Structure 1
Amino acid sequence: MATSFQGTTTKCTACDKTVYLVDKLTADNRVYHKACFRCHHCKGTLKLANYNSFEGVLYCRPHFDQLFKRTGSLDKSFEGTPKVVKPEKSVENEG
């Protein structure tokens, strides 16, 4: 005797465990437990109103901005703080 309940076969993208309707959160066409919807960088809990994602990886807005926008590239090298190259102050004026 097989009984089926709506949503019991849905797995969380983060932990791969069953997500039930009361704990279900959908973002970017992916399903998460509310507790698993966290920033990849700081592990802070996210809300639908304050998250960003890149290639399926979730980030809080501050870390998304810090890791991607500030560097001007979508390079996923997080080994340290993005290095900002400042131009030399001595500019030669010819003429």
Structure 2
Amino acid sequence: MSFTGTLDKCKACDKTVYFVDLLSVDGITYHKACFRCSHCKGTLAMSSYSSMDGVLYCKPHFEQLFKESGNFSKNFQTSKIFN
């Protein structure tokens, strides 16, 4: 008997996720190593992440996003334009 894998694909890298490396968050499958903050690329834990519209953030960057933009939009402002 051989193990053929699963049909689950990681949302971050689109590769097959095997059971030993599977992390399921809000019904979305990730490799444990692919579960990272979209801003700083730091590894996330189930107890220390936030998600907005499917985009993952560590807690500090999720809070920073709110402080910078005044709302929870998906993008950090890289520079301010003055007229």
TM exceeding 0.5: yes
Q: Which amino acid aligns with 2:11?
A: T
RMSD over aligned CA atoms reads 2.1
Unaligned 5+ runs, structure 2 = none
TM-score normalised by the chain length of structure 2: 0.82
Closer, same or farther: CA 26–78 of 1 in aligned 2, 3 Å: same
1:41 aligned onto 2:25: no
Q: Which has the higher helix share?
A: 2
Letter in 2 for 1:37: F
Structural mapping, 1:1-95, within 5 Å: 5=4, 8-68=6-66, 70=67, 71-80=69-78
CA drift at 1:80: 3.1
Are 2:44 and 2:58, in contact at CA under 8 Å, matched by a contact in 1?
yes
Deviation at 1:75, TM superposition (A): 2.4
- Cα gap change, 1:49 to 1:56, in 2 (>3 Å): same
Other structure's SS at 1:53 match: strand
Structure 1 residue ranges without an equivalent (≥5): 83-95
Secondary structure, aligned partner of 1:42? coil
Q: How many residues align structurally?
A: 78
Identity of aligned residues (%): 58
Greater gyration radius: 1
After the TM superposition, which parts of structure 1 deviate over 6 Å for at least 4 consecutive aligned residues? none
Normalising by the residue count of structure 1, what TM-score does the alignment of the two structures yield?
Answer: 0.72
